[in-house]
Amino acid sequence: MANNNNREPIIICRGVNKWFGNFHVLKDINLEVMPQEVVVIIGPSGSGKSTFIRCINRLEEHQEGQIIVDGIELSHDVRNIAAIRSEIGMVFQQFNLFPHLTVLQNITLAPRYVRRQPRRIADEVALQLLARVGIPEQARKYPAQLSGGQQQRVAIARALAMQPKIMLFDEPTSALDPEMIKEVLDVMKELAQSGMTMLVVTHEMGFAREVADRIVFFDEGRIVEMGPPEHFFNNPQHERTKLFLSQIL
């Protein structure tokens, strides 16, 4: 995992502020993420954690501050946004697979049309990824024919197919039946071990404790507390963190 303090951070957020209308969702967020680091973001609903990671690949726009991903600053420049998005993979709570395409087509679509890979190569990569997430036999099926856990694993494979440097996970297990959560978390663990930089919004404390290099606790649009898991779970400093942990553990 991440012991690369000599390297440059891959994500830099400086004084990020965002409003929905008059509502101040993100307040002065400062965060740096190192390559290969796994950062788990936790916090109560409505605390702005999802909005924050959606800002990182510009699905939401921040209004103040700087977000720099892999040396490129997010701005209104369309080319920057396209460049950054192709570096960042994202996995959604609701999977968001394309229902009109087969699993294989879901995975190869972006490599073929955005990266302009030849179909043969894209298919090969896709089948390898499906094997990696443990469902090589489902390539020809449509998403609706798969279980929730399988769909989410396809979504992970789809994001990986673009060979991103960073993966964002927005509550990837929240829409799953309890029986299927583990299979998705296992894939994520394997991904973390392989050295992927990951930002994960989740309520799975076991996963956070086991996999995270750093835990960031959000409340009311700001970062309340941040630190390695042992510190965070065993020795929280802020009252709000203590309250939150006392309610979920």
Partner 1 sequence: MSLPESERNVYVAPPEPPPSRRPPVTTVGVLGWMRHNLFSSWPNTLATLVTAAFLVWFVQAFVRWSVENAQWGVITNNLRLITSGLYPRAEIWRMEVTAALLVFLTGLGLGIWARVARSVFVIVLVVLGAIVFVPLIGARIPEPTIYVLIEPQRTPSSFVFLGYRGEELRVELDPLTDLEDVNTRQIGYVESQSRATWSTQARAAATGQLDLADHNLELSVRLLDRSGSPVAVRGAPVQARSTPDALGGSFTVELPRDGWYVLHVERNDEDRDNNTGYAWLRIDGVELFSSLEAAAIARQAEYGPPPDVERPLFAEDRAYRFEGTRTFGEFVSLQLAPFLSRIARESFIGAALFANGWVIGTLGKHEKRVRRAAILGWALAGPVILVILYGVQGSRTLPIVTTSAWGGLLLTILLTLVGITASFPLGVALALGRRSELPVIKWTCTLFIEVIRGVPLITILFMAKLIVPFFWSALSSLDLTVRMMIGLTLFSAAYLAENVRGGLQIVPHGQLEAARALGMNPFLTTSLIVLPQALRAVIPAIVGQFISLFKDTSLVAVVGLFELVGIVDTIVSGQPIYRPYQREAYIFIAIIYFVISYAMSDVSRRLETSGAGSVRG
Judge residue 38's burial from the number of C-beta atoms within 10 Å of its C-beta, 0-12 exposed, 13-18 middle, 19 or more buried: buried
Number of residues that bind partner 1 (CB under 8 A): 29
Among 46, 99, 136, 228, contact with partner 1 (rule: CB under 8 A): 99
Q: Among 43-51, 82-90, 129-137, 226-234, which window interacts with partner 1 (CB under 8 A)? A: 82-90
By CB under 8 A, residue 90 contacts partner 1: yes
Cβ-based nearer residue to partner 1, 146 or 208: 146
Q: Which residues in the 47-66 window bind partner 1 by CB under 8 A?
A: 57, 59
Burial of 143 (0-12, 13-18, 19+ CB in 10 A): buried
Question: What's the sign of the alpha-carbon dihedral 177, 60, 191, 198?
Answer: negative
Q: How would you class 40 by CB atoms within 10 Å of its CB: exposed for 0-12, middle for 13-18, buried for 19 or more?
A: buried
Q: Looking at beta carbons only, is 12 or 59 nearer to partner 1?
A: 59
In whole angstroms, how close is the CB of 56 to partner 1 at the nearest point? 11
Closer CB to partner 1, 12 or 109, in the complex: 109
CB-based contact 168:53 (threshold 8 Å): yes
Stretch 111-150: interaction string toward partner 1, x if CB under 8 A: --xx---------------------------xxxx-----
Alpha helices (H) along 71-147:
78-85, 103-113, 119-132
Considering the rule CB under 8 A, would residue 67 count as an interface residue with partner 1?
no
Q: Whole-number minimum distance, CB 90 to partner 1, in Å? A: 4
For partner 1, the closer of residues 169 and 217 by Cβ is 169
CB nearer to partner 1: pick between 112 and 214: 112
CA dist 195 and 182 (Å) reads 20
**8 A C-beta contact, residue 81 and residue 239:** no
98 near partner 1, rule: CB under 8 A: yes
DSSP-derived 3-state class of residue 11: strand
Interacting residue with partner 1 among 158, 201, 207, 218 (CB under 8 A):
158
